[in-house]
Structure 1
Amino acid sequence: MTALFNFQSLLLVILLLICTSTYLHHVFPGPMDRNKDGVLGVFWKGARIGERLSPYVSVACVIMAASIFIGT
């Protein structure tokens, strides 16, 4: 089953995209700010979400980690 058809896996992929985009924007802000539109704009938007909603994203990561740990 792919991540697109399993809701928990889809949420995990979205959280990883947000966290990775936020980290990369912190390290390399120039290239990300130039690509606000198009396909690479998804990473810029993920970085915005990660920067502005960081407490909620971190709580979601902890909940996701706990659910994966308990599920196995």
Structure 2
Amino acid sequence: MSALFNFRALLQVLLLLICSCTYIHAQWPSILDRYKDHSMLGAFWKFARIGERASPYVSLACIIMAVQQLSA
């Protein structure tokens, strides 16, 4: 089943996208800062901002998703 039709998989994809964008922005900030004013590529910069500002909640969500994935 596609991640678009399964809500649990969609949340997992979004969480991984937030974590990945945050890591890329921490390692190479110029990559995402270059495109922050663009419409499509600016979304990755926004995902990085969400990961930076809400990092305790994002990490807690990662732990919860990992436990759910291992128990399922």
Tell me the TM-score normalized by structure 2. 0.94
- Report sequence identity in percent: 59
Instruction: Name the Cα RMSD after superposition.
Output: 0.7
CA deviation map 1:22-72 (0-9, x unaligned):
00001111121121121111110010000000000000000001111111x
Q: Which residue of 2 aligns with 1:67?
A: 68
Amino acid at match of 2:43: V
Partner of 1:57: 58
Structure 1 CA distance for aligned equivalents of residues 42 and 51 of structure 2: 14
Q: Distance in 2 between matches of 1:32 and 1:10?
A: 23
Task: Give the gaps of 5 or more residues in structure 2.
Answer: none
Structure 1 gap ranges (5+): none
Matches within 5 A, 1:1-72: 1-36=1-36, 37-71=38-72
Q: Which amino acid letter does the alignment assign opposite residue 53 of structure 2? A: R
TM-score (norm 1): 0.94
User: Offset of 1:8 from its aligned partner?
Assistant: 0.6
State the 4+ residue runs in structure 1 displaced beyond 2 angstroms: none
